[in-house]
Amino acid sequence: MRGPPKFWQEPDRRLLPFLLAPFSKIVAACAARRLRQSGWKAPVPVLCCGNLTTGGTGKTTVVLDLMARLQAQGVVVHALIRGYKGRITTPTQVDPTRHTARDVGDEALLLAACGPTWVGGNRAASAQKAIQAGAQCLIMDDGLQNPTLHKTYSVLIIDGAVGLGNGHVLPAGPLREEATSALQRADVVLMIGHDKTGFLTRYAPFLAHTHIMHANLQTVMPLAPEKERQPYVAFAGLGRPDKFFEGLKQAQAHIVKTCAFPDHYFYQKGDIQTLYALAQHYNARLLTTPKDAIRLPAAIRNTITVASVSLQWGNAHMPEHILNSTLHGKRA
């Protein structure tokens, strides 16, 4: 399945980025102009969990973790998300009993299972609806580049395995805006996994006043009733499906075959038939992510094993620091 261009992750490949540089300058200029707009300042704290690159960095997992912690403190928190690939674009509260992934996007449904969630491109409009519904705190899944809502506190999430790729703005690279601009706005840089690309060293001059935190994603397999080791055919439509497959290996799952699909992919009848045929061939069960399961027909979800993903903080005080800084308006 087609994914992001390989040269986005190859800093030594210079010809294509050079040829695409004029377009990247236009994208960067548009982003910078948009970010100069002043956003609506909500009467409640707003925590933004965003990133710099296209593709998955683990934002939704971070948001789910922080939402649960806020709820444990008795804070009424509502999540705001664009609802990528969903049909609904106006501010709408997600109703898991009525909405599907095609309506609101897969990530919105995951968040709605944890707490009140609103979709809509205009985060200020969504925030106003959420506050009217009783929200005491708002948490944004993505939106670092969205200027419509003023952020109390911003967490910039970096995938340690890929960093910022080749460091170029779209389409010459994976960045949504110039890296230095986002780093200056971030209160915290949260590194997910080991820093394999040297991001912290390369951008150290821009991180002097930014708090650096570390966490890892941990794949959790459901307990299998079988005494023998269950073989699985694993499939995923994510920004980096290889990260999920590697997590399964670390969880000691017995994976006999992997199938990668594009991020937020809506599975077709033919795809499902192919997956079931592979499972039958290997005498295995199908295994996927919660995000992928939501995009499958409801009738077959119970026949597929779902491996959950949890966030393991490098220090137990890190998430509390983020929440206290958000709720009390203190900068890291």
314 is in an annotated binding site: no
Instruction: Give residue-wise pLDDT tens across range 242-262.
Output: 999 999 999 999 999 999 999
201 is in an annotated binding site: no
Domains annotated for the chain, with CATH where assigned, are 35-217+312-328 (3.40.50), 222-306 (3.40.50)
Q: Are 82 and 120 in contact (CB under 8 A)?
A: yes
The band of 222, judged by pLDDT with boundaries at 50, 70 and 90, is confident
Q: Give the DSSP H/E element, type plus range, for residue 212.
A: strand 211-220
The conformation of residue 129, written as its DSSP 8-state character, comes to H
* Distance from C-alpha of 95 to C-alpha of 92, rounded to nearest angstrom: 9
* Distance from C-alpha of 56 to C-alpha of 39, rounded to nearest angstrom: 26
Q: Please tell me the predicted confidence (pLDDT) of residue 228.
A: 57
The band of 226, judged by pLDDT with boundaries at 50, 70 and 90, is low
The band of 296, judged by pLDDT with boundaries at 50, 70 and 90, is very high
3-state secondary structure of 137: strand
165 is in an annotated binding site: no
3 is in an annotated binding site: no
197 is in an annotated binding site: no
Q: Please tell me the predicted confidence (pLDDT) of residue 209.
A: 87
The Cα angle at residue 203 between residues 186 and 241, in degrees rounded to 5: 75
Q: What is the mean pLDDT of residues 152-180?
A: 96
Q: Are 7 and 166 in contact (CB under 8 A)?
A: yes
Q: What are the DSSP calls for 48-71, one per residue?
A: EEE-SBSS-SSHHHHHHHHHHHHH
86 is in an annotated binding site: no
Q: Is the pLDDT of residue 181 over 90?
A: yes
Q: What are the DSSP calls for 162-204, one per residue?
A: TTTTTSPBTTTSSBSS-HHHHHHH-SEEEEES--TT-HHHHTG
219 is in an annotated binding site: no
Q: Please tell me the predicted confidence (pLDDT) of residue 55.
A: 78
Q: How many C-beta atoms surround the C-beta of residue 207 within 10 A?
A: 17
3-state secondary structure of 154: strand
Q: Please tell me the predicted confidence (pLDDT) of residue 149.
A: 97
* Distance from C-alpha of 293 to C-alpha of 110, rounded to nearest angstrom: 10
User: What is the value of pTM for the model shown?
Assistant: 0.93
Q: Please tell me the predicted confidence (pLDDT) of residue 301.
A: 92
Q: Is the pLDDT of residue 280 over 70?
A: yes
